[in-house]
Amino acid sequence: MSSSMNRRAALRLMASSAAMPLLATTAYAAAHAQPTTHTVTIMNMAFSPANLTIKAGDTVIFKNEDRTPHDATANNGAFKTPRLSTGQSAQLTFPAAATYGYICSIHPRMTGSITVT
């Protein structure tokens, strides 16, 4: 009797450990994933990627790898990073669905967008 209980417990353990890698690959897991952190690199007077789509709750890190200072300033005033020198970064979390166009306020021809779904 105790050996059959042990076998059931062992089977349950195998089932649960086998399910974990599968779960991580399903669409359900992707849709309900933990918030993700994305990086927008600033280089050669441009944001890269210039157009980024993320999910509500995700975080975006703006990292300046250019030789000159830059920022990221939303056209609608929703956010503005500090002025970032070479090597500096700023992170913003986007709690709700929205679309933001943004520029570098120092070099307004530098443009980008973040779409939060």
Binding site for Cu ion (CB under 5 A): 70, 104, 106-107
Closer to Cu ion at the Cβ: 52 or 64?
Answer: 64
Closer to Cu ion at the Cβ: 56 or 106?
Answer: 106
Supply the minimum distance, in Å, between the C-beta of residue 47 and Cu ion.
9
Q: Of all residues in this chain, which one has the CB nearest to Cu ion in the complex?
A: 104
Supply the minimum distance, in Å, between the C-beta of residue 37 and Cu ion.
22
Supply the minimum distance, in Å, between the C-beta of residue 23 and Cu ion.
42
Closer to Cu ion at the Cβ: 40 or 104?
Answer: 104
Number of other CB atoms surrounding residue 66 within 10 Å:
20
| Nearest partner of 110 among 57, 15, 23, 45, judged by Cα | 45
Show the beta-strand stretches assigned E in the chain: 37-43, 46-48, 51-54, 59-64, 73-74, 89-93, 98-103, 111-116
| Nearest partner of 74 among 40, 39, 27, 108, judged by Cα | 108
Supply the minimum distance, in Å, between the C-beta of residue 40 and Cu ion.
13
Closer to Cu ion at the Cβ: 26 or 51?
Answer: 51
Length of the chain: 117
